[in-house]
Amino acid sequence: MWLTTLVSILYFGVAAYLFVHTAQSPAAATTPDIASGYFQACNCILFGLLGLCCVHWPAIASLFHGRSKDAGSPAGEKETVAVVVETNPDGGGKKGGEDDASAPADVVVDPKPAVKRQVTYLTNLKTFLTFIVVTHHTVCLFTGCLGNIQTMIMNPNDPANGDPTGLYDGTVKPRTFLTGASWFLTINQGYFMAAFFLISGYFCPKSLDRKGFRAFVADKIVRLGGPLVLWSAAFRPLVT
C-alpha cells in the first residue's frame, strides 16, 4: 500500500499547485476557467483523502469500533468470556476401547483455483480501439489542428488558412488529406471513448466483488491517479 499512500499524498501537492496557479491567473481569465481550476483542486483533495482512508481504513475502523464498544458498556465493567471445551462430542460411544487417534483423519483437498476466463471478443475489441486511438491522434497532427503540421497545399489567397475547405469564400483549394481525415476524426469521436468506458464498466462489478471496496479503490488510485499526478506535477508545468 506504500504506492497508494505516495500517490494520495501527491494529490495534495497537485491541489496546492492548482490553487496557486488559479489564484495567479491573469486578469483575462474568465470566471468559468477560474471556477474550473478551483474545482479540480478540490477534486484532488478528495481523491487524496479517499486514498489515505483506503490505506489506513483498518486503523480508522478499529478506532470507531473501540469507541462504540466503550460507549455501549458501563464504566469499569469487564466482559467475561466462557470457553466450553467438549472432549468427546459423541458422548463416549466408542466401542472396544478404540482410541480417537487411531481413527482415520479426514483429508481436506484444496479446490483448484478458478481459472480466469478471458473474453476473447472483448480483448479483440480493446485491441482495435487502442489502434483507433493511436491512429486518431496521429491523423490530428496532419490536419493542421495541432502544431500546424498538415499535408494540404496552402492557398496563397488565404495564407492564414482560415477557410481550408473553401466552403465560405468560394475559392478552390487543393485538399489532399483534409477531407478524408475530417470524416475519420468525426466518426471516431462518436464511439471509441464511449466503447472503452462500456468495456471498463462491464468488468468493474466482478473486480469489485473479488477485491473488495478498499482494495478496488486503492488499485484505481494507483493505476488511474498515478498517471494523472505524474502529468499534473511533472509534465504540465513544463508545457504551460
Q: What backbone torsions phi and psi does residue 163 show, to the nearest 5 degrees? A: -135, 75
Q: What is the largest CA-CA distance in the chain?
A: 113
Dist. CA 165–CA 152, nearest whole Å: 10
113-144 pLDDT, tens digit per residue, is 556 677 788 889 999 999 999 999 888 877 76
* 146: confidence class by pLDDT, cuts 50, 70, 90: very low
Dist. CA 64–CA 55, nearest whole Å: 16
Cβ-count burial 4-39 (b if 16+ within 10 Å, e if not): bbebbebbbebbebbbeebeeeeeeeeeeeeeebee
70-104 pLDDT, tens digit per residue, is 555 555 455 555 555 555 555 555 554 455 555 55
Dist. CA 41–CA 14, nearest whole Å: 7
State the pTM of this model: 0.57
50-64 pLDDT, tens digit per residue, is 888 888 888 888 887
